[in-house]
């Protein structure tokens, strides 16, 4: 019972924090370039995780499977998807980004069925995912405006990021059992930090960076809560519950994100800038 209560509490905490991160990213983008912002976020998160690893004396696995997993997490979870999300949020409301990410369970189910022999979709699970995605579309479709070409690209980037993240999630489920969530996130985020800051150095002007209370608060919140706390909790849960059920957090996140976007930034779901 205590273990089940812990799982439920962590599931709810992930929904609340990740639902709020869409707004916090948007706030940070007011003064920080997107790739720079995401890269600094992971520099801080990876540093904190490394400190935890040293204090707890956790082993960093170096097997072939571990290296494959680290590389996949670094590139397909923390580099390309976050570059797409941060870039896309410049052109669409934060709530809309979270709504588009609600396709995540659909792709998790497909990859789970394809790659995890002990994790079939099943009729009940498939029906629930389809109903959830359709429900999100029905609720919010009337508010989506495709008139801005950059917004359309931003939306496409959000959807692509769900596919990459879903594949990585299944790879973690398959290969990550022996590895501590602290370790896999540290290595993945360190790779992501290097890749994102390298991309920023090539495409963005660091002289345009403006540090103020909002930008610093955004980075720290996203690094400590939106990265360290939630990703470690998420991958801890992934070892203990079905991957598709865990991915359903993406159905709850939009409710939090749309509410906060409307209250804090006065956002509507149209994509005009």
- Helices marked H in the chain — which ranges? 2-28, 34-56, 64-72, 80-88, 94-100, 104-115, 123-140, 149-175, 181-203, 213-223, 230-238, 243-247, 249-265
pLDDT band, very low/low/confident/very high, at 80 (cuts 50, 70, 90): very high
pLDDT at 72 over 50: yes
pTM (two decimals): 0.84
If we measure between CA atoms, which residue out of 229, 221, 194, 218 comes closest to residue 52?
A: 229
CA distance 129 to 106: 6
Question: 7-11, 128-132, 161-165, 263-267: which has the minimum mean pLDDT?
Answer: 128-132
Question: 96-105, 174-183, 204-213: which has the minimum mean pLDDT?
Answer: 96-105
What is the signed CA dihedral for 89, 76, 47, 50, rounded to 10 degrees?
Answer: 150
- Is 153 or 213 the better-scoring residue by pLDDT? 213
pLDDT tens string 105-135 = 888 888 887 777 665 555 555 555 556 556 5
What secondary structure letter does DSSP report for 92? S
Residue located via tokens 């998807």: 81
Burial class (CB within 10 angstroms; exposed 0-12, middle 13-18, buried 19+) of 154:
buried
pLDDT at 273 over 50: no
């Amino acid at each position: 019972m205590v273990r089940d209560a812990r799982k439920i509490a962590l599931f709810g905490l992930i929904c609340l924090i990740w639902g709020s991160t869409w707004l916090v990213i948007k706030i940070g983008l007011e003064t920080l370039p997107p790739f720079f912002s995401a890269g600094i976020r992971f520099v801080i998160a990876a540093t904190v995780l490394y400190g935890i690893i040293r204090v707890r004396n956790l082993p960093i696995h170096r097997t072939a499977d571990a290296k494959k997993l680290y590389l996949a997490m670094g590139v397909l979870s923390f580099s390309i998807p976050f570059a797409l999300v941060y870039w896309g949020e410049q052109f669409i409301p934060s709530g809309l980004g979270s709504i588009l990410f609600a396709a995540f369970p659909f792709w998790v189910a497909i990859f789970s069925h394809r790659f995890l022999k002990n994790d079939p979709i099943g009729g009940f699970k498939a029906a629930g995912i389809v109903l959830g995605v359709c429900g999100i579309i029905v609720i919010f479709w009337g508010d989506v405006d495709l008139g801005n070409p950059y917004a359309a690209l931003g939306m496409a980037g959000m959807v692509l990021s769900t596919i990459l993240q879903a594949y990585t999630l299944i790879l973690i489920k398959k290969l990550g059992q022996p590895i501590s969530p602290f370790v896999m996130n540290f290595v993945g985020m360190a790779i992501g930090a290097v890749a994102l800051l390298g991309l920023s150095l090539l495409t963005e002007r660091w002289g345009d960076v403006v540090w103020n209370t909002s930008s610093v608060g955004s980075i720290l919140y996203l690094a400590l809560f939106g990265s360290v706390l939630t990703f470690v909790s998420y991958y801890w849960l992934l070892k203990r519950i079905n991957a598709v059920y865990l991915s359903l957090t993406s159905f709850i996140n939009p409710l939090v994100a749309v509410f906060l976007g409307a209250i804090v930034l006065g956002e509507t779901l149209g994509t005009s800038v």
